[in-house]
């Protein structure tokens, strides 16, 4: 196959200087190697992929668009959010307050509690990992207790340990 006959190696090297990201860089390096006599089979071995993938990378460059754009993947929008923008804002405001403010007997937000809250409030089901992601997007971070200093008040230590056992770990504002 005579891919890239119309594209000089210099143009590929110039495009390489102007792209960002691993995939576009890989694709241009593969094209430069191909232009220098490396076969598609060898490139597939180098990159740990199939010949079909290498063929696709090379075919992307047979276009009228600039090389820098040809090697970049189109934006993928992903799945539509289950919460509307308004609901998302309400949720984020809610998790910045203690769960007791909305009627839960818990010291802090946990992914399991968020899961329950979202289903009861908005009628949407989220997985446990998605609830962690929502908490992170809301600007909260997972906090683990720090070891207490030996000279700390014993009553405070005991209270802390009881509270921590009750929460099982918590998400709190930074």
What pLDDT is attached to residue 120?
94
Tell me: do 38 and 109 sit in the same domain. Answer: no
Q: Within this chain, do residues 54 and 100 fall inside the same structural domain, yes or no?
A: no
Q: Is residue 79 a part of any domain in this protein?
A: no
How far is it, in rounded angstroms, from Cα 52 to Cα 44?
Answer: 8
The answer as to whether 76 is a domain residue is no
Question: According to the model, what pLDDT value does residue 90 have?
Answer: 94
Determine the pLDDT at residue 1. 45
Interatomic CA distance for residues 125 and 131, integer angstroms: 10
3-class SS of residue 172: strand
| 90 and 41 within one domain | no
pLDDT average, residue stretch 81-93? 92
Are 115 and 166 part of one and the same domain?
yes
Q: Considering its fold, how many domains does the chain have in total?
A: 2
CA neighbor of 74 nearest in space, from 23, 32, 128: 23
Residue 43 within a domain: yes
Q: What letter would DSSP give residue 109? A: B
Q: Whole-angstrom Cα distance, residue 105 to residue 89?
A: 23
Strand partners, 143: 170
In a domain, residue 166? The reply is: yes
Range of the domain at 124: 85-172
Q: What are phi and psi of 172, to 5 degrees?
A: -135, 160
Distance, in Å, from the CA atom of 134 to the CA atom of 145, rounded to the nearest integer, reads: 22
Average pLDDT over every residue of 26-42: 92
Average pLDDT over residues 58-81: 85
């Amino acid at each position: 196959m005579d891919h890239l006959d119309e594209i000089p190696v210099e143009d590929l090297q110039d495009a390489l200087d102007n792209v960002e990201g691993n995939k576009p860089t890989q694709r241009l390096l593969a094209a430069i190697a191909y232009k220098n006599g490396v076969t598609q089979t060898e490139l597939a071995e180098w990159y740990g992929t199939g010949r079909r993938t290498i063929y696709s990378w090379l075919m992307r460059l047979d276009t009228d668009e600039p090389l820098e754009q040809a090697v970049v993947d189109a934006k993928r929008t992903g799945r539509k959010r289950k919460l509307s923008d308004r609901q998302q804002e309400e949720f984020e405001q809610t998790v910045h307050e203690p769960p007791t403010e909305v009627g839960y007997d818990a010291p802090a937000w946990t992914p399991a509690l968020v899961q329950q809250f979202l289903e009861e409030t908005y009628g949407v089901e989220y997985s446990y990992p998605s609830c962690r992601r929502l908490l992170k997007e809301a600007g909260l971070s997972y906090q683990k207790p720090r070891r207490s200093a030996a000279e700390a008040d014993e009553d405070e230590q005991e209270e802390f340990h009881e509270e921590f056992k009750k929460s099982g770990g918590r998400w709190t504002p930074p």
